[in-house]
Structure 1
Amino acid sequence: MITTFLSQAWYVLLHSAPWMGWNLFLAVVPLILSVLLFRQTQFRASTLTLPPIGLQTRHRSLLWWLGVVVFVAFLPNAPYILTDIIHFITNVQAADSVWFVTLFLIPLYVLFIAAGFEAYVLSLINLGAYLNQRGLARWILLFEMVLHALSAIGIYLGRFLRYNSWDLVTRLDEILRVIVDDLLGSRPILVMLLIFLIVAGLYALVKPLHLAVFRHPRSRVARHYAID
């Protein structure tokens, strides 16, 4: 039984590790960008070991705005991992043991999906902290809703039409045509609306938990970041 369990686990990892690793990498890209673009100015001066690199100036450079565009383009890759539940269903259907599903598949996919969505939540929290610092706290919810909507569109383009973030550069005209011709149909709109509700709903549940941790007086994040 143990031999069978291990062989099945190895088979799943062998076939899943490449796409899981790639999808997690894409999910982390917007998180890294959010730290560079929105949170670097939040660190206390005493914690900085490198020179400021110009991202914390009052007047943002063209490079900074280009970074924001790249951040928005890659952001849907983080919640996109939620749709990888279809691979979990396929693996469950192929499994011949409830113990394998319970002890291996469920923990594997829970950690994988949670990591991807965690990157999404932290990215938006970083953006919110930046807006708050700039005196634009009243716009945080609006920005979050817009990004949820853009992420829903991006997830639909990626999952169903198989486009990638870099296609916005290499195939922009094609994507715009697809948006005008295909995405305005009733079925795509309903699917994107469902995706939007799932992403926004999960975010609304998870974000307060993160903020509670960040605001805890003993939290290292609370000591190094200005979070209101």
Structure 2
Amino acid sequence: MSALVNNIGWMGWNLFLALLPLALARVLFGRRERPRWVLVMGGAVFVVFLPNAPYVLTDVLHLPQELSLTHGNHWLAAALVGQYLCLFATGFAAYVLSLVRLERWLSDHGASRRTVLSVDLSLHALSAVGIVLGRVFRFNSWDLVTNPGGLLDLVRVPQPRTFAVLFVLFVILATGATLARALPTILDRAAKLG
């Protein structure tokens, strides 16, 4: 039981950070027109904080150790898995919904499908980089402002393993976002068949 309670603090913080890009997307890419400088500055903040949403998926690394602490209590283990699944679902949903809002805004402002796809793929790639910076190098989004020198110290020739991790993360984000977008259609078709 203590694992469930102990997780509330850090999971709550990670969910706050995961929902922040969605809130920014709602403000920036809504129906109301924004001044150009607000879109540029807000868009930069949006891109910096966007990786926080899918970052929660990497918190799965904590789950095996926490499951080992349940000492065979299946109800506690199930509750723990449920807690993690809620974290993952909420964070990834925030990621996809943030992208969808941006895509609609771009389309409404005359962007072609190709441009929207390019933006999506670029954001998946940048989010993969952000996840690695956060999970491996322990950087936070605000370190771009509070510790830019520390981030610049990381700029070096990446190892092949780093490219592999970035590629896998990119594929997970792109595939997951595509599947999440298709889910309502799939469920609707399944309901009509049943």
Q: Same fold (TM over 0.5)?
A: yes
1:85 corresponds to which letter in structure 2?
Answer: V
Match of 2:148 in 1: 172
- Distance, in Å, in 1 between the alignment partners of 2:24 and 2:33 is 14
Unaligned ranges ≥5, structure 1: 1-8, 42-54, 214-228
Match of 1:21 in 2: 12
Is 2:34 aligned against 1:34?
no
Match of 1:69 in 2: 44
Is 2:110 aligned against 1:135?
yes
Is contact 2:70–2:77 with CA below 8 Å preserved after alignment? Answer: no
Match of 1:93 among 49, 52, 68: 68
- Distance, in Å, in 2 between the alignment partners of 1:192 and 1:100 is 36
Alignment of 1:105-184 (within 5 A): 105-138=80-113, 139-178=115-154, 180-181=155-156, 184=158
Match of 1:185 in 2: 159
**SS at 2:141 equivalent:** coil
Report how far residue 93 of structure 1 moved.
2.0
Residue deviations 1:20-57 (CA, integer Å, cap 9, x gap): 0000000010000000111x21xxxxxxxxxxxxx515
2:68 corresponds to which letter in structure 1?
Answer: Q
Match of 2:176 in 1: 202
- State the 4+ residue runs in structure 1 displaced beyond 3 angstroms: none
**SS at 1:181 equivalent:** coil
Report how far residue 88 of structure 1 moved.
1.2
1:156 corresponds to which letter in structure 2?
Answer: V
Aligned residues: 186
2:86 corresponds to which letter in structure 1?
Answer: L
2:146 corresponds to which letter in structure 1?
Answer: T
Report how far residue 14 of structure 1 moved.
2.6
Report how far residue 159 of structure 1 moved.
0.3
Is contact 2:67–2:77 with CA below 8 Å preserved after alignment? Answer: no
Report how far residue 152 of structure 1 moved.
0.3
- Distance, in Å, in 1 between the alignment partners of 2:48 and 2:74 is 40
1:72 corresponds to which letter in structure 2?
Answer: V
Report how far residue 132 of structure 1 moved.
1.0
Residue deviations 1:50-89 (CA, integer Å, cap 9, x gap): xxxxx515xx421221000000000000000000001112
Report how far residue 98 of structure 1 moved.
5.3
TM-score, structure 2 as length reference: 0.89
- Distance, in Å, in 2 between the alignment partners of 1:143 and 1:75 is 13
Calculate the aligned-residue CA RMSD, in Å: 1.9
- Distance, in Å, in 2 between the alignment partners of 1:175 and 1:65 is 22
- Distance, in Å, in 2 between the alignment partners of 1:32 and 1:105 is 28
Match of 1:223 in 2: none
Question: Which is further off, 138-147 or 88-97?
Answer: 88-97
